[in-house]
Amino acid sequence: MWFGSPGSGSALTDAQKAGDSQYSTGGHETIQSIFNSTTCFDLMRNSSKLVLFENTIPFQLAFLALVEHDTDVAPIWDPEKRTFIALLTARDFIFTLYRRLLNATDNTVTSAVTLPISEILVLEDPIFVHNDFNSMDAEDSVHQLCASLGRLDAEYVPVVDPDEGSLVAILGYMDILHLLVQMAQRMPTMFSTSIHAASIGRVRAVPTASRTSTLSEVLAVMDDRDMNCIPVTDAAGKVVGLYQLSDVAYISKQITAETGAINFDEYLIGDILDVQQQSNGASPLYSCTCTLQDSLKTVIEKMVNGRLTRLVCVDASGCCIGILGVKEVISYIFPDDSPM
């Protein structure tokens, strides 16, 4: 594994900061202008350390390394071809195990996760969301990054140095949210519109889970509906949490690096949420819900504070009425772009 140093500071350029006074009014044009003038290189100041895996290491060891280093994604290097070939996320590991479990014995599942990444990538039913390495230049704009994520239907995009061709970062929606938070804090009036007034996203019924649902039951619904998260509700239908495929702290404590043994039927969503909330919920700023009356600024800040790219939209009684994601926020900013 190789590591890169994380940056720090604001992604807004000095010129953009100096021109804050002209942004007291504006709207889409101003936000679009900043997205077009801010580069991927600027966003790299907010990105975390870069962890890289060779495709020769066992699948479950790569997963455990993602958890250990608190990172959501890692590029995969092919030492024979001497090139990057894909991206690995926690979601890939979870769904690989789940789908193999549907049609295989425990021994087959165990052997699958102990295979090297190279053999997982060529399985008959590959689960990797990013099973190719579609990169963009560090000098490309944030608007181009948004368009690339939407076009590829991806959560992340590798960024390379345009001069040397070397990998310098993996950027995704959370990096875009950090930029939006900086803009909202400096230009709050531009982000004061409520979700309802801005008509951001669509309120529609979504499946929910209970604390007593097993992980196997939840993954079946998420796989069938192509969902990355699912609201968790109590007996009265009130939202008590949000399970995401990236919530792997609990699972990582159950799996062993030697065998890769795991049983989704034994894990309850409530137990997974408890572990999640012990780490995230300790902060008074953490919340996985929003209302239609919340401002765009509030929604963006909640996403960043909770390290979430989606929030559960609830009514006055706290019951789920839909899910709002960062993709809907970006579509609001660039309404003329192709739907993402």
DSSP state of 3: -
DSSP string, 228-279: SEEEEE-TTSBEEEEEETT--HHHHHH--TTT----GGG-BHHHHHHHHHHH
Per-residue pLDDT at 278 exceeds 50: yes
pLDDT in tens, 51-71: 999 999 998 889 889 988 888
Residue 45: other Cβ atoms inside 10 A: 17
Angle at 243 between CA 142 and CA 92, to 5 degrees: 65
pLDDT in tens, 187-224: 898 899 999 998 887 777 889 999 999 999 999 999 88
pTM for this entry: 0.85
Per-residue pLDDT at 46 exceeds 90: no
Q: How far apart are the first and last CA of the chain?
A: 33
pLDDT in tens, 93-119: 888 888 777 666 554 555 667 889 998
Burial 31-40 (b: 16+ CB within 10 A, else e): bbebbeebbb
Task: Give the span between the Cα atoms of 259 and 125, in whole angstroms.
Answer: 22
